[in-house]
Amino acid sequence: MPYQPSTPLLELMRKLAALPGAARPRPRRDISAQGIALIKRFEGCARLRPDGLIEAYPDPGTGADPWTIGWGATGADRFNGGTIGPATRWTQTQCDARLVEDLARYAAEVAAAIGGALTTQSQFDAMGSFHYNTGAIARATLTQRHIAGDHAGAAREFARWNRAGGRVLQGLVRRRAAETELYLA
């Protein structure tokens, strides 16, 4: 459930924001159930083995690194140590736990990148999905356009991120179209 500041907290935030030269505190932002559903739809939790464990798979663009497991987890294997690779196996519970951990990190990074820019929950969710997949929220032109209030321009930027390993992947084309649709909702 997304964090909702209490009425006393909101009142305190308003008072602090009214002080001369005061920084404007912002409540924490989370990726909503709609954004999580979009991420899960495109990440999938694939590679279920006969023994019930889920195994890692190579990047579809490169056929190698980065190896991915569960709901799109790459990098450190926090359950077995080391890095996610061809021999990595997790339970469904571990995949789900890593998703929760990653969602919190990616949401915080999106919130930091957009700062105080006016942002609907749908826009935040779309940018969260984009960042979850690309890791590029801080450097993407779509972020700059969103901050500037050019939402139509930002929406057009999603489609540019459709390549992996130097080639266009239809899965990325579909994902970017879904993110654009959510962003404009």
Domain boundaries, the chain: 28-184
Distance CA 184, CA 151 (A): 8
Q: Which member of 43, 55, 109, 179 is catalytic?
A: 43
Which of 134, 70, 63, 62 is CA-nearest to residue 101?
Answer: 70
Residue 20: other Cβ atoms inside 10 A:
4
Per mean pLDDT, which range of 55-64, 111-120, 133-142 is the poorest? Answer: 55-64
**Tokens 């890692």 map to which residue?**
56
Residue 4: other Cβ atoms inside 10 A:
11
pLDDT at 4: 46
pLDDT at 3 over 50: no
With 0-12 / 13-18 / 19 or more C-beta atoms within 10 angstroms meaning exposed / middle / buried, residue 124 is buried
Identify whether the C-beta of residue 70 lies closer than 8 Å to the C-beta of residue 47.
Answer: no
pLDDT in tens, 123-174: 999 999 999 999 999 999 999 999 999 999 999 999 999 998 889 999 999 9
Name the β-bridge partners of 89. 55
pLDDT at 21: 55
pLDDT at 129: 98
pTM: 0.83
- Tokens for 47? 């590679």
Residue 139: other Cβ atoms inside 10 A:
10
Identify whether the C-beta of residue 145 lies closer than 8 Å to the C-beta of residue 183.
Answer: no
Which residues, other chains included, contact 103 with Cβ-Cβ below 8 Å and sequence gap of 6+? 30, 31, 36, 39, 128, 132
Distance CA 134, CA 143 (A): 13
pLDDT in tens, 161-179: 999 888 999 999 999 999 9
**Tokens 């954004």 map to which residue?**
35
pLDDT in tens, 63-77: 888 999 999 999 999
pLDDT in tens, 10-44: 465 455 555 555 555 455 699 999 999 999 999 98
Distance CA 158, CA 136 (A): 11
pLDDT in tens, 35-53: 999 999 999 888 899 999 9
Active site residue 55: no
- Tokens for 46? 């694939």
What kind of architecture, by CATH, is found in domain 28-184? Orthogonal Bundle (1.10)
pLDDT at 8: 59
User: Percent of the chain having pLDDT more than 70?
Assistant: 85
